[in-house]
Chain A
Amino acid sequence: MSHITRPVSHPANPLDLIREKALWMRRRAFRMVYEAQLGHPGGDFSAIDAIATLYFGVLRFDPQQPDWPERDRFIMSKGHATGALYTALCAAGYYPEDWLETYMQPLSRLNGHPNRNYLPGVETNTGPLGHGLPVGLGIAVAGQISGASYRTYVLTGDGELQEGSNWEAAAVAGHRKLANLTLIVDRNRLQQGARTEDTVTMDPLDERFRAFGWEVAVIDGHDHAALLKALGSPVAQRQKPLCVIANTVKGKGVSFMENVAAWHHGVPNAEQFEIAMKELV
């Protein structure tokens, strides 16, 4: 019933709100990982600024009606970064904070990878890499066919782009000139076990996407103003899908985690947790 739905309203200048929410998400996600002794905090922290910018400055959605047909879609393709996604959906009003306390506990709605059937606000179940962009492409094509005005955002890791399915989808999106589709690449340059460029060369990533028919913006993925400008840019102003390459730091915000591959799925001990809480202010 779209006529009774009111999307959340973002302030005219949402930068303070985004900053506040991103800080809360980092602190809450780290607590979640610490308490569960499970998670992927490094990739949470590289992606949190982009996701906070989306939910508190860009997306049209109504947490009271997660299935509102006109909602903008966000797909967390790097589904392992649940710390970022689950805190964002909580902060956006989809569910109360006490749900976060159940993270990865038996029968929790907060599985190690997101499940749309249990958790409101999740658009599609991710976990295996290279699935989000094809699904996001389908959502964008549905909008193209039906004339709906919603926008679709997909966030992938950079190592994730080694999955060939992304390039199938990138080719189709470029071919169909899907301006309603935006891909955010969390370019933290570290995959699970090594640097991306030591594993399989990804650069020049911007040229690769341009060659596939995309408009490309390369930005600092922790700069909320730059994120807001890129992610909020009007669809009508372009004739192509948009790829935002967000240059990020894995573990951003915690000194001992930054740029350390082991924090891909490392979990903190009590001492590390306390240090992080002191730094994340």
Chain B
Amino acid sequence: MAHAAPKAEGLHDCREAWASTLETLAAADPRIVAVVNDSVGSSKLGGFQKKFPDRLVNVGIAEQTMVGVGAGLANGGRIPFVSAASCFLTGRALEQIKADVAYSNFNVKLVGQSSGIAYGELGPTHHSIEDFAWLRVLRNLTLIVPADPWETAEAVKWAAAHDGPVYIRVSRMPVPDLAVPHRVFRPGKAELVREGHDVTLIACGTTVHLAVSAAEALAGEGIAARVLNMATLNPLDEEAVLEAAAATGALVTVEEASVRGGLGGAVAEYTALHLPVPVEMVGFPGFVPTGSVEWLFDHFGLTATGIAAAARRALARKH
């Protein structure tokens, strides 16, 4: 794939990797179709539409039907990728995701675009910081949050080959390629981005590279922070969480999402039951005020500085 070689420089919109990967897959597999809610442009599916006009199903601005149609297409032997802004896909069509996709267990791939607070100043109606909490409880819906273009492409390829419902959360925010050598995409497994023994930073999606920067800053203070890329929220890599809790004794979760019920919630649920250790959560407390993406990240501590501060708080709670 075009994104096979991670680079340490340059920033990318992961939607490009999503769209080019889907086009490549669709050329090889006629069962692959795309379903959109007037979201061809925002899903970067213009190229797909040109190449496969009959396999682009645009239901108009109708998210409930969009997801229901996805389930029906799966019933009819297609492999549908249902792609729309994640706020509307997950919020408006939540019951369809629950009943038609997850409970019915159809082979539908849901792709939430421009997730998190990517729409910045447009406000909480257009933000998707609740999707982790809403979808994580659907046990058979694999929930993947890629951190960079390579991981996005790998997640899309894996989802196409996997028989079962999947949600992939794609960002439009510029992110760098993660500098991890010899990467292998393993759904359901945390990726060790940086080793450390004092504290573990568990991040996903757009925040993984920020956690890496935080770890670098902490290293300057003599704190060795482990960084895990928890690209799959469901099923959670419980083994990696347990190992991190045991080995480092303090955890920080970082997500471009609500701190309630998402990655932090998943980690806290698991450690509370199996190995209670201090957990600090970095994310959004709820509906956020007006502001640009950069301002919101900064204001709520989704920065190297903010994550490092959370790490120090977690360390201070460690006995």
Contacts and interface: CB of A to CB of B under 8 A. Distances in A.
Nearest to A140: B72
Interface of chain B, main secondary structure = helix
A130 B67 CA distance: 12
Contact of A138 (B54, B71, B95): B71
Interface in B166-217: none
A123 interface: yes
A78 B80 CA distance: 25
B49 to A, nearest CB: 14
A169 B63 CA distance: 10
Interface string A105-149: 000000000011100000111111011011111111111011010
Contacts of B105: 116-117
A131 B99 contact: yes
B100 interface: yes
B103 A125 contact: yes
A116 B60 CA distance: 28
A138 B106 CA distance: 12
A142 B54 CA distance: 10
A128 B102 CA distance: 14
B88 to A, nearest CB: 13
Interface in B62-117: 62, 64-65, 67-78, 80, 95-96, 99-100, 103-106
A2 to B, nearest CB: 11
Contacts, number: 110
A240 interface: no
Interface range for B: 20 to 34
Interface residues of A, number: 33
B69 to A, nearest CB: 4
A124 B106 contact: yes
A142 B74 CA distance: 8
Contacts of B72: 124, 134-142
A168 B103 CA distance: 22
Contact of B75 (A127, A138, A171): A138
A134 B76 contact: no
A165 B100 CA distance: 13
A172 interface: yes
B59 interface: yes
A114 to B, nearest CB: 10
Given A135-B68, A169-B65, A124 B78 contact: no
B99 A168 contact: no
B64 A134 contact: yes
A222 interface: no
Contacts of B99: 125-128, 131
B31 to A, nearest CB: 8
B283 to A, nearest CB: 30
A169 B60 CA distance: 10
6 contacts: A116-B105, A125-B104, A134-B65, A139-B76, A168-B59, A168-B65
Interface of A: 69, 73, 115-117, 123-128, 130-131, 133-143, 145-146, 148, 164-165, 168-169, 171-172
> 3 closest pairs, A vs B, by CB?
A138-B72, A142-B76, A134-B68
Given A116-B105, A134-B64, A165-B96, 12 more contacts: A116-B104, A117-B105, A124-B75, A131-B68, A131-B99, A134-B96, A135-B71, A135-B72, A138-B71, A138-B74, A142-B73, A142-B75
